[in-house]
């Protein structure tokens, strides 16, 4: 069945296309983008004995997500960081067909409602205020690792908004090991994520017995312990806000035994919120600041917008009013900047990894056979020159048109005629979910379908607030070393699309004497 799928010729008889993915000159996310353009949205790779189909055509993806709703596409059970003796899963790693996934997703989704986030917005401004004070304390001449501090900010926001707990890691930007201090909970968490990212890139790494791998496993256990303690604290807290994520998790009753979720399950659910939510949000804010530093005209437009809203620090307004929840929907250009930044640098580059539960025929005639792994690629979908005008250019203005998130079908056919021609026969009795609409979603940084990002509303509130407040308070400038590097040199994928060695910038307070005179 897979013969009809286009793709590069075999490179190694044993490992298939693995050598292509290990080419240091072309990292996997760049390779996948190139292949997705070459094979126009669908292709096959073999990684040892496993075959994987990459789908980046928005119309084909639409069919896949329709099939997911019908239970024909499943999420593979992926526990990258296995902890000894631990069998429970969490919302992220659970199969969609499992009742516990539905139970938890349904219970937790309301915690991210606009009404709740409005009430919790003061937590975000407090965390960013702490961060601003910390950056100021370092002084303008010492570069700050923006990628580190924005993740600390997101970590603290999830702690406060989701679990009524202040980890305070955004008040400690100078005391972590990078500055010769003791590792805090965030550093342990990052050690775990670093190892998870490496296992994501190399599934055989779990066999590794290096000191680094063991350190990653120990960090994993500590993060689970921290999450367990957090949930125990929340359970004992009589004043726990009933709108928090923790309260929603604690209210769940398992219909199979009439009991609340076990602590084993709760600790996993709590930790996945930090895992899925802090690196993603933090790096998205960091990429946006990087792109703004590279595009002074966009930065100037944003400064003007913040000024007009009374938020920018200026000589005439050294202490502007507090950033309000209502500002988010009014800051249209900031919204466009964030969307464009997430288009160009989607932190979840790969996107949905799925398995096919029943043979599925696509509208191009190809059949995805039962058991095959399929994966999307956000990076390819969001930067494909046949789908986006000048995808390589940072143009926030494109998001002034809300319809830009969709692509229209050019003709009734789906543009994969070459694939159709390559496929000969008809397949009787095979599930057939053709996309019916004439337009499909092409903008999916938060995923698509029923397993899309449950926490996206929190990110959509946190990102503009943090970015708006940071830009209102500081002028950001890349260090000369960073400015001299290309984006390709700076970036790497370790689970998420991130900066290889941090993102160092000078942050000059707008109320500093020199900055104030030039503002």
Distance (Å, rounded) from C-alpha 310 to C-alpha 316? Answer: 11
Tell me 322's DSSP state.
Answer: P
Query: Given candidates 248, 451, 475, 510, which one binds ligand HEM under the rule CB under 6 A?
Result: 451
Q: CA neighbours within 13 Å on the CB side: how many for 382?
A: 27
Query: Given candidates 107, 348, 471, 505, which one binds ligand HEM under the rule CB under 6 A?
Result: 348
Query: Which of these segments, 132-140, 250-258, 415-423, 451-459, binds ligand HEM (CB under 6 A)?
Result: 451-459
Distance (Å, rounded) from C-alpha 218 to C-alpha 191? Answer: 9
Residue 188 binds ligand HEM (CB under 6 A): no
Residue 111 binds ligand HEM (CB under 6 A): no
* C-beta closer to ligand HEM: residue 448 or 472: 448
Distance (Å, rounded) from C-alpha 510 to C-alpha 317? Answer: 10
* C-beta closer to ligand HEM: residue 146 or 348: 348
Tell me 12's DSSP state.
Answer: B
Residue 105 binds ligand HEM (CB under 6 A): yes
CB of 480 to ligand HEM, least distance (A): 29
Residue 467 binds ligand HEM (CB under 6 A): no
Query: Given candidates 149, 230, 276, 407, which one binds ligand HEM under the rule CB under 6 A?
Result: 276
Cα–Cα distance list, 152 to 52, 175, 283 (Å):
35, 13, 10
453 annotated as a binding-site residue: yes
Residues 51, 43 contacting (CB under 8 angstroms): no
Distance (Å, rounded) from C-alpha 89 to C-alpha 80? Answer: 11
Q: Residue 225: CB partners within 8 Å, gap ≥ 6? A: 267
Q: Residue 435: CB partners within 8 Å, gap ≥ 6? A: 59, 60, 62, 63, 66, 363, 414
Residues 195, 56 contacting (CB under 8 angstroms): no
Residue 281 binds ligand HEM (CB under 6 A): yes
Query: Which of these segments, 196-204, 258-266, 345-353, 482-490, binds ligand HEM (CB under 6 A)?
Result: 345-353
Residue 453 binds ligand HEM (CB under 6 A): yes
Residues 374-433 that bind ligand HEM (CB under 6 A): none
Distance (Å, rounded) from C-alpha 226 to C-alpha 274? Answer: 11
Distance (Å, rounded) from C-alpha 28 to C-alpha 24? Answer: 9
Query: Given candidates 311, 344, 362, 454, which one binds ligand HEM under the rule CB under 6 A?
Result: 454
Tell me 474's DSSP state.
Answer: E
CB of 259 to ligand HEM, least distance (A): 22
Residue 193 binds ligand HEM (CB under 6 A): no
Query: Given candidates 446, 499, 504, 506, which one binds ligand HEM under the rule CB under 6 A?
Result: 446
Place of tokens 């005639």: 365
User: What x/- string results for residues 349 through 368 when contact with ligand HEM is judged by CB under 6 A?
Assistant: --xx----------------
Residue 452 binds ligand HEM (CB under 6 A): yes
CB of 377 to ligand HEM, least distance (A): 11
Distance (Å, rounded) from C-alpha 479 to C-alpha 144? Answer: 9
* C-beta closer to ligand HEM: residue 105 or 122: 105
CB of 513 to ligand HEM, least distance (A): 36
The angle formed by the CA atoms of residues 271, 499 and 225, to the nearest 5 degrees, is 20
Question: Which parts of this chain interact with ligand HEM (CB under 6 A)?
Answer: 91-92, 105, 158, 272-273, 276-277, 280-281, 284, 347-348, 351-352, 445-447, 451-456, 458-459
């Amino acid at each position: 069945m897979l013969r009809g799928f286009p793709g590069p010729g075999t490179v190694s008889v044993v490992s298939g296309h693995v050598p292509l993915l290990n080419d240091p000159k072309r990292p996997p996310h760049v390779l996948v983008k190139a292949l997705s353009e070459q094979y126009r949205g669908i292709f096959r790779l073999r990684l040892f004995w496993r075959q994987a189909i990459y789908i980046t055509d928005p119309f084909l993806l639409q069919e896949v997500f329709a099939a997911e709703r019908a239970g024909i596409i499943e999420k593979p059970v992926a526990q990258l960081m296995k902890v000894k003796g631990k069998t429970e899963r969490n919302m992220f790693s659970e199969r969609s067909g499992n009742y516990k996934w539905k139970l938890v997703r349904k219970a937790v989704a309301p915690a991210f409602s606009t009404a709740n986030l409005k009430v919790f917005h003061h937590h975000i401004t407090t965390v960013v205020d702490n961060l601003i004070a910390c950056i100021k304390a370092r002084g303008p001449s010492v570069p700050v690792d923006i990628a580190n501090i924005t993740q600390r900010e997101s970590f603290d926001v999830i702690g406060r908004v989701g679990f009524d707990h202040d980890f305070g890691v955004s008040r400690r930007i100078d005391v972590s090991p990078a500055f010769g201090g003791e590792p805090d909970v965030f550093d342990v968490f990052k050690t775990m994520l670093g190892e998870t990212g490496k296992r994501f890139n190399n599934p055989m790494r779990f066999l590794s017995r290096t000191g680094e791998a063991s350190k990653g496993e120990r960090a994993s256990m500590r993060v689970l312990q921290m999450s367990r303690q957090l949930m125990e604290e929340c359970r004992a807290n009589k004043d726990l806000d009933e709108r928090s994520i923790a309260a929603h998790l604690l209210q769940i009753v398992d219909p199979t035994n009439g009991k609340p979720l076990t602590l084993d399950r709760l600790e996993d659910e709590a930790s996945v919120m930090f895992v899925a939510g802090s690196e993603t949000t933090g790096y998205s804010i960091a990429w946006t600041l990087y792109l703004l530093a590279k595009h002074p005209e966009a930065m100037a437009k944003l400064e003007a917008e913040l000024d007009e809203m009374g938020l920018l620090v200026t000589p005439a307004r050294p202490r502007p009013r507090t950033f309000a929840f209502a500002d988010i929907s009014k800051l249209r250009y900031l919204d466009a900047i964030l969307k464009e930044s997430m288009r160009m640098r989607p932190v979840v580059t790969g996107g949905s990894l799925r398995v096919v539960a029943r043979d599925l025929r696509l509208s191009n005639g190809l059949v995805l056979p039962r058991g095959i792994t399929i994966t999307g690629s956000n990076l390819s979908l969001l930067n494909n020159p046949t789908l986006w005008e000048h995808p390589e250019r940072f143009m926030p203005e494109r998001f002034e048109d809300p319809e830009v998130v969709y692509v229209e079908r050019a003709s009734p056919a789906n543009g994969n005629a070459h694939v159709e021609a390559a496929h000969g026969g008809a397949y009787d009795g095979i599930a057939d979910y053709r996309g019916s609409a004439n337009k499909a979603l092409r903008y999916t940084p938060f995923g698509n379908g029923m397993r899309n990002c449950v926490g996206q509303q929190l990110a959509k509130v946190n990102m503009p607030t943090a970015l708006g407040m940071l830009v209102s308070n500081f002028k950001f400038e890349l260090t000369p070393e960073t400015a001299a590097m290309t984006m390709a040199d700076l970036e790497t994928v370790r689970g998420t699309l991130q900066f290889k060695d941090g993102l160092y910038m000078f942050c000059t307070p707008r109320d500093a004497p020199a900055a104030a005179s030039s503002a």
